[in-house]
Amino acid sequence: MKRISTLGLTVALMLWGAAAQAVELMHWERLPLAVPLVINQERVVFVDEAVRVGVPSTLTGKLRVQSTGGTLYLRASEAIAPTRLQLQSVATGEIILLDIAATPGDLPLEPVRILKNAQVQATETESSTVLVPDRTPIPVALTRYAAQSLYAPLRTVESLPGIRRVPLKLRTELPTLLPTENVSSTPIAVWRLGDYWVTAVKLRNRGPETVQLDPRRLHAKLFAATFQHAFLGPAGSAEDTTIAYLVTRGGGLEQAVLLPPVARGADDES
Per-residue pLDDT tens for 61-107? 999 999 887 889 999 999 999 999 999 988 888 899 999 999 998 87
Per-residue pLDDT tens for 181-199? 999 999 999 999 999 999 9
| Pair (140, 12) in one structural domain | yes
| Pair (106, 144) in one structural domain | no
What one-character-per-residue DSSP string does the chain give? --B--HHHHHHHHHHHTT-----EEEEESSSPEEEEEETT--EEEE-SS-EEEE--GGGTTTEEEEEETTEEEEEESS-EEEEEEEEEETTT--EEEEEEEEE--SSPPPPEEEEE-PPPSS-TTS-S----GGG--HHHHHHHHHHHHHHS-GGGPPP-TT-EEE--S--S--TTSSTTSSEEEEEEEEEEETTEEEEEEEEEE-SSS-EE--GGG--BB-SEEEESSSEEPPTTSTTSEEEEEEEEESS-GGGTB-PPPPP--GGG--
Domain contains 261: no
pLDDT at position 1, please? 43
Kindly indicate the confidence band of residue 50, based on its pLDDT and cuts at 50, 70 and 90: confident
Measure Cα distances from 220 to 5, 48, 61, 170, 249 in Å: 12, 33, 52, 14, 12
Is the pLDDT at 173 greater than 80? The verdict is: yes
Question: What Rg do the C-alpha atoms of the chain give, in angstroms?
Answer: 20
Domain carrying residue 76: 30-116
Per-residue pLDDT tens for 106-130? 877 888 888 876 433 333 334 344 4
Q: In the listed set 116, 137, 165, which residue is the last one of a domain according to the structure?
A: 116
Domain contains 220: yes
| Pair (16, 54) in one structural domain | no
**What is the C-alpha separation between 14 and 227, in angstroms, rounded?**
10
Q: What is the mean pLDDT of residues 20-32?
A: 75
Q: In the listed set 116, 142, 160, which residue is the last one of a domain according to the structure?
A: 116
Give the Cβ contact number of residue 144 at 10 Å.
21
Tell me how many domains the chain contains.
2
pTM value surpassing 0.85: no
| Pair (187, 164) in one structural domain | yes
CATH number at residue 73: 2.60.40.1080
Domain contains 88: yes
Give the Cβ contact number of residue 268 at 10 Å.
8
